[in-house]
Structure formats: structure tokens, C-alpha cells
């Protein structure tokens, strides 16, 4: 009896044990299912939130001009989920701003394919194509010489739709230099260097703008900084050594002039002028220095040319007017000399040296208006009576009115002067 009860109890325990084991297996199965399904459910639920955070982060990076970081985030998002259409649109927009037009167009088309009839994206794609065309046109206009039109394309189209386009900004600086807006070029290239202080092309162009303003020390500093970054940069090397050569030749001319080596200095000035004929801010001083030397050497006609070249560059240059007046005295253009000296006095009325130069020119003009009878007959003032008679007969025959029917008035005036000279 006892044995049978023990067997019944053991069987009940076994059933209970099996039930416990089965319950544990069921619980484990449920737990595993929860562990596997929860991430999937969470990912699905948070997918929209993650995309929103992504685009907010991209927008913040664009605001602070961290375009590379923004593009990296978008590329990673697209790689993780190629169906994330908004990422293509954001990427296309950034690439358009950077004027990476071919890549941008590809991403716009990818987005429009996924989201057809999106008018905003289609409008931006149209703007992209306009900017691309305008940038190409501006580049061509730089070559053809229509700099104003080129700047209009850059300012009103390209930089409106592609405000972060470094290529367009540098082209704008080139157009400004070509149109001789050197101060504007310095300002615009300064903005570029503020964003990227090691931009070699911006350093070159800013140095060139300072060069054309004859601010040579600042120009050299820009060239040197660029060459420290890239010692083999062709354009920077060319600009740097050309400027050094110009300054060397100019100093040589000034040194030789101060040492009294006037003819050597003249050749140095002329050599310096040949180095860059398109550098008026510096050449005006070279022309003036050359004019002064030529006046000292008594080479009036050459001096007039040099001073006139200086005045063509800077019409208010008083010293050039005075020197040209002195040169005209050498060529016996007394009226021209007086006119130049008067202009100089008007521009600098307090300068007594110029007033004395004017008085000298006026005396020379007055003396020149007295008839030189010997000169009229073409003889020296030591000529003999026989020389005077021979000269008179020759000129009287040459200028007799009956022999000069085509220019009778001039002949009559000449004949009267010849007769008066002979009589005196």
C-alpha cells in the first residue's frame, strides 16, 4: 500500500516538473521574440524622427558653411536608406550652392524621379541651369573684354543661385582687376581669404590688385605667402619675380640719376618702362623721372613726350607740367611753355618756384616776338654785306609772289619780311 502511494506521488511530481519546464520554454520564447522585434519596431517608429534630426543637422552645417560635413551626413544617410528622397534634394541644393552643377543636376533628377511633380525642386533645377550658363558666359566675357557684362552675370545670376561658389567669386575678382577696379578686387578677395586664408588664387589676385595700385610692398607679401604654401606655383612665381625685377630696375635708374650718370639713368628708366606698359600707377613716376633727365640733357622733344605720357596718366601732376614747360622752352615753343606754366600756377598757386618759372617763360615769349632779321635771311649775325645781299637775292627770288601763285598770301608775307630784313 505504501509502495503504491509512493509511485503515485512520483508520477505527479514528474508531470508537475514537465509543466514547469514547458512554461520556462514558453517564457524564453516570448522573451526572445521581444528582443528580436523591439529594435525593428523602434526603428520604424523613430525613422521619421531620425530624418528630421539629420536634416536639421545638415541645415546647421550649411549655415556655418561646413558644406563637407553636411554632404558627408547626406551621403551616409543615402547609403543607409537609398529610398530617403529628401536627402537627394538637400544634397542637390548644397551642390548647387557650391556650383558643382553636374553632380547637383544628377541629384535633383534623382529626387524628382522619386517625387514627381515637385514644383520647388523643378524650380531649383531651372535656377541651377541658369547659373551654370551664366558662369560659362562670364568666363567667355572675361576673354572677350566685356568685363561689365561679365560682372553682371556673376552678381545677378551666379552668386544669387550659387552663393558659395568659389570659382565665381575668383572670376569676379579677375573681372574687377581687368576693369581696373582694384579697390573692389582687394575687398572681394579679402572675403575669400577670410573663409580660406590659404587660397592660392585669392592671394595671387589680391597681390596683383595691390601691385596695380603701386602698393608693391603689400603685393610682395601676398606673393611670398602664396609661394611659402606652394613654392612651384607658376603664376605666383612669375608675378613675384617680375615685380622684384621692376623695383630693381627702377632703383638703378634713380641711383644713377643721383650720381649724375644721366645717360645711363635714361636707359634704365626706359628699360623699366618696357617691363610692364600696363602699370600706370608706377609708370607715371618713371615717365616723370625720365622727363627731368631729358630736360637736364637738353633733349627737349624727347622730354616733352615723356612728360606728356605722365600727364596722360595723371593730368593733375603739377611737376610734369612744369618740366614739360621747361622742355618747350628748349624747343622754342614759348607759347606752349607759358601755357603749361600758367596751368601749373593755377594748380599750385603758393609755389614761388613755379611762379618764377612762369615769369621766365613769359620773358622768353616776349623776346621771341621781336623779329630776328638775320634769322629771316638765314644768316649769322656776323655775316658780311656781300653775304646779306646774296641771301636777300636768293630768298627774294624764291618767295616772289609772282612765282608762288598757289600760296600767294604766304609768299607776300615772306617777301615783305625779306625786304624789311635787307633794308635794316
Task: Give the tens place of pLDDT for each residue, 85-112.
Answer: 898 999 999 999 999 999 999 999 999 9
Q: What is the pLDDT of residue 46?
A: 41
pLDDT at 355 over 90: yes
Q: Which of 400, 395, 403 is nearest to 421 (CA)?
A: 395
Could you tell me the pLDDT band of residue 406, with boundaries at 50, 70 and 90? confident
Q: What is the pLDDT of residue 421?
A: 78
**Does residue 369 or residue 75 have the better pLDDT?**
75
**Sequence spans of domains, the chain:** 47-171, 180-278, 305-369, 373-423
pLDDT tens track for 174-220: 999 999 999 999 999 999 999 999 999 999 999 999 999 999 999 99
C-alpha cell at 419: 625786304
Could you tell me the pLDDT band of residue 5, with boundaries at 50, 70 and 90? very low
Q: What is the pLDDT of residue 367?
A: 80
Give the total residue count for the chain.
424
pLDDT at 294 over 90: yes
Q: What is the pLDDT of residue 19?
A: 53
3-state secondary structure string, 211-272? Answer: HHCCCHHHHHHHHHHHHHHCCCCHHHHHHHHHHHHHHHHHHHHHHHHHCCCHHHHHHHHHHH
C-alpha cell at 144: 572677350
Q: 47-171: which CATH topology?
A: 1.25.40
CATH of region 305-369: 1.25.40.10
| 44-58, 68-82, 245-259, 400-414: least confident range | 44-58
Could you tell me the pLDDT band of residue 8, with boundaries at 50, 70 and 90? very low
One CATH from 3.40.50.300, 1.10.260.40, 1.10.287.110, 3.40.50.1820 for 373-423: 1.10.287.110
Q: What angle do CA 200, 91, 81 make, to 5 degrees?
A: 135
CATH of region 180-278: 1.25.40.10
Compute the Cα dihedral for 271, 246, 295, 314 and give only its sign. positive
Could you tell me the pLDDT band of residue 14, with boundaries at 50, 70 and 90? low
Instruction: Calculate mean pLDDT across residues 244-267.
Output: 97
- Other beta carbons within 10 Å of 270: 14
Element (H, E) at 174: helix 166-178
Q: What angle do CA 292, 298, 302 make, to 5 degrees?
A: 65
Q: What is the pLDDT of residue 286?
A: 98
Instruction: Calculate mean pLDDT across residues 237-254.
Output: 97
pLDDT tens track for 313-337: 999 999 999 999 999 999 989 999 9
Q: Is the full-model pTM beyond 0.85?
A: no
Same fold, 47-171 and 373-423: no
Q: What is the pLDDT of residue 328?
A: 95
**Does residue 399 or residue 344 have the better pLDDT?**
344
pLDDT at 22 over 60: no
Element (H, E) at 84: none
Q: Which of 223, 275, 267 is nearest to 246 (CA)?
A: 275
Amino acid at each position: 500500500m505504501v509502495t503504491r502511494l509512493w509511485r503515485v506521488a512520483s508520477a505527479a511530481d514528474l508531470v508537475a516538473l514537465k509543466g514547469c519546464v514547458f512554461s520556462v520554454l514558453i517564457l524564453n520564447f516570448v522573451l526572445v521574440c521581444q528582443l528580436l522585434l523591439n529594435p525593428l519596431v523602434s526603428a520604424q517608429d523613430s525613422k521619421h524622427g531620425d530624418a528630421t534630426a539629420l536634416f536639421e543637422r545638415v541645415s546647421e552645417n550649411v549655415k556655418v558653411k561646413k558644406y563637407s560635413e553636411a554632404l558627408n551626413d547626406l551621403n551616409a544617410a543615402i547609403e543607409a536608406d537609398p529610398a530617403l528622397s529628401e536627402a537627394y534634394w538637400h544634397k542637390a541644393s548644397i551642390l548647387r550652392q557650391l556650383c558643382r552643377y553636374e553632380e547637383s543636376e544628377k541629384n535633383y533628377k534623382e529626387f524628382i524621379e522619386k517625387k514627381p511633380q515637385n514644383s520647388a525642386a523643378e524650380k531649383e533645377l531651372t535656377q541651377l541651369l541658369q547659373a551654370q550658363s551664366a558662369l560659362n558666359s562670364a568666363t567667355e566675357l572675361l576673354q572677350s573684354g566685356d568685363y561689365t557684362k561679365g560682372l553682371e552675370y556673376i552678381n545677378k545670376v551666379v552668386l544669387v543661385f550659387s552663393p558659395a561658389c568659389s570659382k565665381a567669386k575668383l572670376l569676379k575678382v579677375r573681372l574687377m582687376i581687368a576693369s581696373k577696379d582694384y579697390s573692389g578686387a582687394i575687398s572681394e578677395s579679402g572675403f575669400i581669404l577670410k573663409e580660406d586664408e590659404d587660397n592660392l588664387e585669392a592671394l595671387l589676385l589680391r597681390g596683383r590688385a595691390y601691385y596695380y595700385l603701386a602698393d608693391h610692398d603689400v603685393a610682395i607679401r601676398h606673393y611670398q605667402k602664396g609661394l611659402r604654401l606652394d613654392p612651384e606655383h607658376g603664376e605666383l612665381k612669375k608675378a613675384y619675380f617680375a615685380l622684384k625685377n621692376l623695383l630693381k630696375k627702377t632703383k638703378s635708374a634713380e641711383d644713377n640719376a643721383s650720381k649724375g650718370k644721366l645717360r645711363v639713368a635714361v636707359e634704365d628708366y626706359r628699360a623699366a618702362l618696357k617691363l610692364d606698359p600696363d602699370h600706370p600707377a608706377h609708370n607715371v613716376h618713371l615717365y616723370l623721372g625720365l622727363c627731368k633727365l631729358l630736360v637736364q640733357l637738353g633733349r627737349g622733344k624727347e622730354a616733352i613726350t615723356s612728360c606728356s605720357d605722365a600727364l596722360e596718366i595723371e593730368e593733375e601732376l603739377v611737376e610734369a607740367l612744369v618740366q614739360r614747360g621747361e622742355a618747350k622752352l628748349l624747343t622754342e615753343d614759348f607759347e606752349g611753355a607759358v601755357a603749361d606754366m600758367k596751368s601749373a600756377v593755377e594748380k599750385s598757386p603758393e609755389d614761388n618756384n613755379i611762379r618764377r618759372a612762369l615769369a621766365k617763360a613769359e620773358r622768353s615769349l616776349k623776346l621771341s616776338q621781336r623779329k630776328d632779321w638775320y634769322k629771316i635771311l638765314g644768316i649769322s649775325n656776323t655775316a658780311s654785306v656781300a653775304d646779306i645781299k646774296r641771301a636777300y637775292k636768293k630768298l627774294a627770288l624764291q618767295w616772289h609772289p609772282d612765282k608762288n601763285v598757289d600760296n600767294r598770301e604766304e609768299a607776300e608775307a615772306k617777301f615783305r619780311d625779306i625786304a624789311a630784313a635787307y633794308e635794316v
